[in-house]
C-alpha cells in the first residue's frame, strides 16, 4: 500500500470511530503528498462536517467534485449537509441531480431519491416528493438504515401506513437506533397509543443521553453564553414577554417530562413555576443542549436554530397576545 492510501485508510478508520481531529490530521498528511487528490478533499470535508465546520465541509466536497466530476460519494456528502442542517434545498437538488447521472446500484439510486425527497419536503413541494417515493427501489437492502430513512420520508409526507411498516422494520433491525425509536413513538402517538409512544420516547431519550456529544459541542458555560446572546437578540416585543424569566440550561428533557407528554427532543420549553406564596407566577425557560446540537449539526448554526426555537415557543405560549403586527405573528407561528 502506498503512503497516500495508508493515510486515507487510517483517516477513514478514525472517522468511523468518531475521531474527527485524527481523521483531519491524516487527511492533512495525505494532502501534502497529493493536493489534487479528490479522495483527500472528500475526507477533509467529512472530518470538517464532524467538527461542525459546515461551510468548510461544503468547500472541500466541491473541491473534490471539481477534481473529479463523477465523484458520487462527495456529491452525496455535500447534499446531505446542504439539506440538513443548512437548509439549502435548491442547491442540494442540483447536486443530487448530478449524482443521479452516476448512480449504478439500487442503493445509490435510493440515496439520491431520498435526498431529493428531503429537499422537496423542505421546499414544501410535497406532491413532487410523493411521486419520487413511488420510484424508490423495493430492496431488500443490506444497510439497516434504509428502512428508517424510507419510513421517515413516508412519515414526513403523511403516508402513515407505509411509514409504520418501514419504521417497524428499522426498529427490529436496529433496536438501539434512537432515530427509529423516536419516529415509532411519533407514529404510536398519532395512533392514540400514549403508553406505547411514551415507551419508545423514553428508550430514544436514553440512547440520546448516553451518545457522546459531537466534537464541536461547546462546554456548558459556553453554551449558556450562546443562549444569553440569543435571548438578547430577540425581537423587542418577544424579549419583553420573557424578560423576567428564569433560564435553565440542561442536556435533555427529563424522563418525567417525557412521561407527561413532552417531546424528548424538545429544544426550548417555557412554563410557569407553581404559584409562589406572594401570588406571583414565575416564567421559566428550559433550554436543552443535546437537542439543539442534534438540530443544528454544527456550532455555527446553533444561534439560528435557537432563535427559531425561542420564537416558536414564545409565540405559542403567548398566542393570546399580539406579539407584533398580525402578519408577523403568523410568521412566528408557522
pLDDT by 10s per residue, the chain, length 334: 689 999 999 999 999 998 999 999 999 999 999 999 999 999 999 999 999 899 999 999 999 999 999 999 999 999 999 998 899 999 999 999 999 999 999 999 999 999 999 999 999 999 999 999 999 988 788 888 999 999 999 999 999 999 999 999 999 999 999 999 999 999 999 999 999 999 999 999 999 999 999 989 999 999 999 999 999 999 999 999 998 899 999 999 999 999 999 999 999 999 887 666 666 678 899 999 999 999 998 888 899 999 999 999 998 888 755 444 444 444 444 4
- Burial profile 280-319: b = 16 or more Cβ within 10 angstroms, e = fewer: eeebebbbbbbbbbbbbbbbbbbbebbbebbbebbbebbe
CATH number for 140-213: choose from 2.40.110.10, 2.40.50.180, 1.25.40.10, 3.30.750.24: 1.25.40.10
Q: What is the pTM of this model?
A: 0.86
Question: According to the model, what pLDDT value does residue 85 have?
Answer: 87
Question: According to the model, what pLDDT value does residue 155 have?
Answer: 96
Torsion of CA 198, 202, 203, 204, to 10 degrees: 100
Question: According to the model, what pLDDT value does residue 273 have?
Answer: 74
Question: According to the model, what pLDDT value does residue 138 have?
Answer: 84
Question: According to the model, what pLDDT value does residue 324 have?
Answer: 45
Question: According to the model, what pLDDT value does residue 1 have?
Answer: 60
Distance from chain centroid for Cα 279? 41
Question: According to the model, what pLDDT value does residue 118 have?
Answer: 96
CATH 1.25.40.10 positions along the chain are 140-213
Question: According to the model, what pLDDT value does residue 140 have?
Answer: 81
CATH number for 220-333: choose from 3.40.309.10, 3.30.2010.20, 3.30.465.10, 3.20.20.70: 3.30.2010.20
Residue 238 to residue 184: CA distance in whole angstroms: 35
CATH 3.30.2010.20 positions along the chain are 220-333
Amino acid at each position: 500500500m502506498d503512503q497516500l492510501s495508508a493515510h486515507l485508510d487510517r483517516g477513514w478508520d478514525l472517522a468511523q470511530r468518531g475521531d474527527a481531529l485524527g481523521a483531519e490530521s491524516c487527511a492533512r498528511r495525505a494532502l501534502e503528498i497529493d493536493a489534487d487528490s479528490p479522495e483527500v478533499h472528500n475526507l477533509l470535508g467529512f472530518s470538517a462536517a464532524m467538527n461542525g465546520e459546515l461551510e468548510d465541509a461544503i468547500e472541500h466536497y466541491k473541491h473534490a467534485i471539481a477534481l473529479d466530476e463523477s465523484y458520487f460519494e462527495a456529491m452525496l456528502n455535500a447534499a446531505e449537509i446542504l439539506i440538513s442542517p443548512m437548509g439549502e434545498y435548491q442547491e442540494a437538488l442540483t447536486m443530487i441531480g448530478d449524482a443521479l447521472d452516476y448512480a449504478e446500484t439500487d442503493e445509490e439510486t435510493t440515496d439520491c431519491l431520498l435526498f431529493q425527497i428531503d429537499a422537496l419536503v423542505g421546499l414544501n413541494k410535497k406532491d413532487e416528493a410523493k411521486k419520487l417515493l413511488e420510484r424508490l427501489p423495493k430492496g431488500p437492502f443490506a444497510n439497516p438504515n434504509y428502512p428508517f430513512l424510507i419510513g421517515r420520508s413516508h412519515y414526513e409526507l403523511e403516508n402513515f401506513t407505509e411509514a409504520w411498516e418501514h419504521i417497524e422494520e428499522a426498529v427490529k433491525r436496529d433496536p438501539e437506533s434512537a432515530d427509529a425509536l423516536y419516529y415509532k413513538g411519533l407514529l404510536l402517538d398519532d395512533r392514540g397509543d400514549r403508553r406505547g409512544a411514551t415507551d419508545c420516547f423514553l428508550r430514544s431519550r436514553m440512547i440520546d443521553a448516553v451518545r457522546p456529544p459531537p466534537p464541536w459541542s461547546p462546554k456548558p458555560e459556553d453554551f449558556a453564553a450562546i443562549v444569553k446572546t440569543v435571548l438578547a437578540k430577540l425581537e423587542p416585543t418577544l424579549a419583553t414577554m420573557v424578560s423576567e424569566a428564569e433560564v435553565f440550561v440542561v442536556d435533555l428533557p427529563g424522563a418525567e417530562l417525557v412521561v407527561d407528554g413532552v417531546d424528548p427532543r424538545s429544544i426550548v420549553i417555557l412554563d410557569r413555576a407553581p404559584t409562589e406564596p406572594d401570588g406571583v407566577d414565575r416564567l421559566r425557560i428550559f433550554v436543552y443542549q443535546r437537542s439543539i446540537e442534534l438540530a443544528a449539526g454544527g456550532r455555527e448554526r446553533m444561534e439560528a436554530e435557537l432563535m427559531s426555537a425561542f420564537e416558536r415557543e414564545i409565540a405559542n405560549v403567548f398566542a393570546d397576545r399580539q406579539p407584533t403586527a398580525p402578519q408577523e405573528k403568523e410568521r412566528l407561528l408557522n
